[in-house]
Amino acid sequence: MIKTNSVTPNVPHQETENPEQTATARKPLWRRMLPLVVLVCGLGIAWTSGVLDLLSFDTLRDNRDQLQNLVSSKPALSILGFMGIYIVAVALSLPLGSLLTIAGGFLFGSVLGTAYVVTAATIGAVIVYLAARYAFYDVMHNKAGSAIRKMEEGFAENAFSYLMVLRLIPIFPFWLVNLVPALLGVKLRSFVLGTFLGIIPGTFVYASIGDGLGALFDQGKTPDLGVIFEPRILTPIIGLAVLALMPVAYKKLRKSKSEAPSDE
Sign of CA dihedral 22, 26, 29, 33: negative
The pLDDT score that the predictor gives to residue 85 is 94
The pLDDT score that the predictor gives to residue 120 is 97
In this structure, are residues 134 and 35 in contact, taking their beta carbons and an 8 Å threshold?
Answer: yes
The pLDDT score that the predictor gives to residue 172 is 85
The pLDDT score that the predictor gives to residue 139 is 60
Residues in the chain: 264
Give the model confidence (pLDDT) of 143-158 as tens digits.
555 556 666 777 777 8
Residue bearing the bigger pLDDT, 26 or 227: 227
The pLDDT score that the predictor gives to residue 151 is 66
Residue bearing the bigger pLDDT, 81 or 262: 81
Q: How many alpha carbons fall within 13 Å on the CB side of residue 163?
A: 33
Question: Predicted confidence band at 83 (pLDDT cuts at 50, 70, 90)?
Answer: very high
**Mean pLDDT over residues 34-56, rounded?**
82
Give the CA-trace dihedral at 137, 139, 142, 145, to 10 degrees: -80
Cα–Cα distance list, 86 to 2, 91, 188, 215 (Å) = 80, 9, 21, 24
Question: Predicted confidence band at 264 (pLDDT cuts at 50, 70, 90)?
Answer: very low
Across the chain, how many H-helices and E-strands are there?
A: 16, 0
Checking if the pLDDT of 13 tops 60, the result is no
The pLDDT score that the predictor gives to residue 223 is 83
Checking if the pLDDT of 7 tops 80, the result is no
Provide the mean pLDDT of the chain: 81
Question: Predicted confidence band at 1 (pLDDT cuts at 50, 70, 90)?
Answer: very low
Q: Where do the domains of the chain lie?
A: 27-251
Residue bearing the bigger pLDDT, 121 or 10: 121
28-42, 203-217, 234-248: least confident range? 28-42
Question: Predicted confidence band at 81 (pLDDT cuts at 50, 70, 90)?
Answer: very high
The pLDDT score that the predictor gives to residue 146 is 57
